[in-house]
Amino acid sequence: MNKDETVKLIDPENWAILELTGKDRQQFLHNQTTNDINSLSVGQGIDSVFVNSTARTLDLATIYNLEDAIWILVSRERREFLYQWIDRYIFPADQVQIQDITAKYRVLKIIGKNSEELLQQVMPLELTAVNYGDHQSVGSSRIAVGTGLDLPGYTLFIAEQEYSSYKERLIALGMVTLSPQEQEELRITQGRPHPGRELTEDYNALEAGLWRAISFTKGCYIGQETIARLNTYQGVKQRLWGISLNKQVPEGSPIYLEQERIGTVTSCQKTISGEVIGLAYIKSKAGGEGLEIEVDHHTQGKIISVPYLSHDYYRP
């Protein structure tokens, strides 16, 4: 198996699972996040953004609609905050319950075009899930299509007691576990924004390039008025882009164009191959892909596109 065919694993420490139960769970979550949760049939999933009342980003989540529950896959560091956030909006009349079930499962993301072939060698798999977010139970575990990146692969929810066995068998078949540095490199090159860096209350969901996780046709939800107004009047003033640099810089470094500050570096990483890549918010009026920039007046760089992000306004 050559390098391009190697199946890679992102370890479970990055993720947490919140579970909603009760007959009002789907409508409730529909009103709390940016995407159309009501459209999900059992066995389907979708990306959605938790935002505050002014559409500032709290976390990017993946929502899975099960037969008797909804699973919300969130960033580990936002786990407690989002639990409290969601619980705050559950009123006494709502038939909705929330619990944190992270301890029951390990979340493995396996990436690569040979992922399905590898999985079929370690579990009794007849894959019926085909679209992003589609998921199905496999014994006491669950498998979902997609990795949260623009790369082929699957997200596995492995029952805690079976995790070590599954992982050992996958590695024995040639799967490679990515180091933290490699995981960060992959996240940045793909352009997936991360809480505390690109996803903060300094930026809204449209600035963060998360158009794929937003419905412009659903009903009212927290932050909806701001998002609708920004889209209607094309009012996004800054956008998240990838950047390539000639040397590594600290996060928070200012970006300049002809002495005018036009943005801020939010993530920066030297890759295994020695290149320097990053993510940065850039003023919309300054330009986009291909723009030559300067960081901290002494580092040269260029704006690049990254697969996960998009910046086109929604037009009915």
pLDDT digits (tens, 9 = 90+) for 156-200: 999 999 999 988 999 999 999 999 999 999 999 999 999 999 999
Is pLDDT at 264 greater than 80 in this prediction? yes
Residue 113 neighbours by CB distance under 10 Å: 13
The model's pTM is 0.95
Q: Is 251 in contact with 266 (CB distance < 8 Å)?
A: yes
Q: Tell the residue number behind the tokens 């007046």, with chain if given.
A: 297
Domains of the chain: 3-172 (3.30.1360.120), 189-304 (2.40.30.160)
pLDDT score of 242: 98
pLDDT score of 14: 87
pLDDT band at 1; cut points 50, 70, 90? very low
pLDDT band at 123; cut points 50, 70, 90? confident
pLDDT score of 4: 56
Query: What dihedral angle (degrees, nearest 10) is formed by the CA atoms of 187, 190, 193, 196?
Result: 30
More confident residue, 42 or 167: 42
Q: How far apart are CA 224 and CA 203, in angstroms?
A: 15
Is pLDDT at 126 greater than 50 in this prediction? yes
Q: How far apart are CA 225 and CA 244, in angstroms?
A: 35
Average pLDDT of 255-280? 96
pLDDT score of 307: 96
Q: Name, of 5-14, 157-166, 203-212, the range with top average pLDDT.
A: 203-212
First vs last Cα of the chain: how many Å apart? 45
DSSP H or E stretch at residue 172: helix 163-172
DSSP H or E stretch at residue 183: helix 180-190
pLDDT band at 49; cut points 50, 70, 90? very high
pLDDT band at 2; cut points 50, 70, 90? very low
Is pLDDT at 122 greater than 90 in this prediction? no
Average pLDDT of 233-246? 97
Q: How far apart are CA 156 and CA 261, in angstroms?
A: 43
Question: Encoding tokens for residue 196?
Answer: 């505390």
Average per-residue pLDDT for the chain: 94
In this structure, of 122-126, 212-216, 267-271, the range with the lowest mean pLDDT score is: 122-126
Q: What residues are paired with 155 via a beta bridge?
A: 109, 144
Closest by CA to 284, choosing from 233, 244, 216, is 233
Classify residue 41 by its DSSP letter.
P
Is pLDDT at 66 greater than 80 in this prediction? yes
